[in-house]
Amino acid sequence: MGRLGRVGSYTLVERLGRGGMGEVYRATNKRGDSVALKMLHDAVDADAEARVRLEREVRALRRVESPYVARVLDADLAGERPYLVMEYIEGDTLLDRVRRGGPLRGTTLINLAHGLATALSITHAAGIVHRDLKPANVLVNVEDDPVLIDFGIAQVLDATRLTLTGTFLGTPSYAAPEVFADEPVGEPADVHAWAATVAFAATGRPTFGRGPAEAQMYAILNGQADLAGVPAALLPLVRAALHREAAKRPTAALLTARLSRLARAAVAEPDPRAAVRQVPAA
């Protein structure tokens, strides 16, 4: 431990990943507790607008409290290398989980859809648009609950003017059509990404294909989603959330309410396998 050096009062233990705005490390604080520490890239570090985005992001995220959103614990935005410290979540990304174990089923899938919708509902209420919801930015913790991470390109709604015209921040296969159509981008874009992420979890396939970015953008703009295999109970919500017109998509709060009822129904539904096991042997 510690061979990667220190950042502020934190000891770097291992690099977890590299994203659009920085590198993420597992680090330990003075008490030895694990945290996730995100440092900006050198190029972003020199960008005054990037610092403003991060400052607004941190202020907004400090208002968010949810088991489905990684908590902000600390930040130093004034130093030579600004960094953000968030809670460390034990678990795999949804992307890795599905790649290794296959599509999610039953209550596990419904709970994932409900947890992510809840996370968006709470962050939207705080004025935050994530803008990069995708399977790699969802951790599945040891309790099988989803936790939304990496708000590295999330922006407070009143700060969207900081995004340069024509600049795309995000992952094409999970982006909303308005991102590519020079239309206003806000909360409905996260709802569209929610649907694409849930469809991936249900099918194990990218919702808009595996082709080059241009082919994925074409599929998104023309509503060519691959939803074969999405359970019937979730299909109407997923389809509605993928609507080409942003204003016609359900809000995250509405999705949360509908999915709460689905989750309760799934728990109440008896397991037919249990009934079979209760039949005495002849």
Of 112, 111, 158, 150, the closest CA to residue 131 belongs to 150
**45 classed as catalytic:** no
Instruction: Considering the candidates 42, 47, 132, 144, report the single residue annotated as catalytic.
Output: 132
Q: Could you tell me the two tokens for 15?
A: 């690099």
Q: What are all long-range contacts of 195-198, with beta carbons under 8 Å and residues at least 24 apart?
A: 195/225, 195/237, 195/238, 195/239, 195/241, 195/242, 196/134, 196/225, 196/242, 197/94, 197/116, 197/133, 197/134, 197/135, 197/138, 198/109, 198/112, 198/113, 198/116, 198/230, 198/234, 198/238
Give the rounded distance of the alpha carbon of 185 from its chain centre. Answer: 17
> Burial letters for 204-218: b for 16+ Cβ neighbours within 10 Å, e otherwise?
ebbbbbeeeeeebbe
Instruction: State the helix-helix crossing angle for 106-125 and 187-203, rounded to 10 degrees.
Output: 170
> Can you say how many angstroms the Cα of residue 71 is from the centroid of all Cα atoms in its chain?
14
In angstroms, rounded to a whole number, what is the distance separating the alpha carbons of residues 191 and 198?
11
CA dist 124 and 119 (Å) reads 8
HSE, side-chain direction, 13 A CA sphere, residue 192? 29
Q: Could you list the active site residues?
A: 132
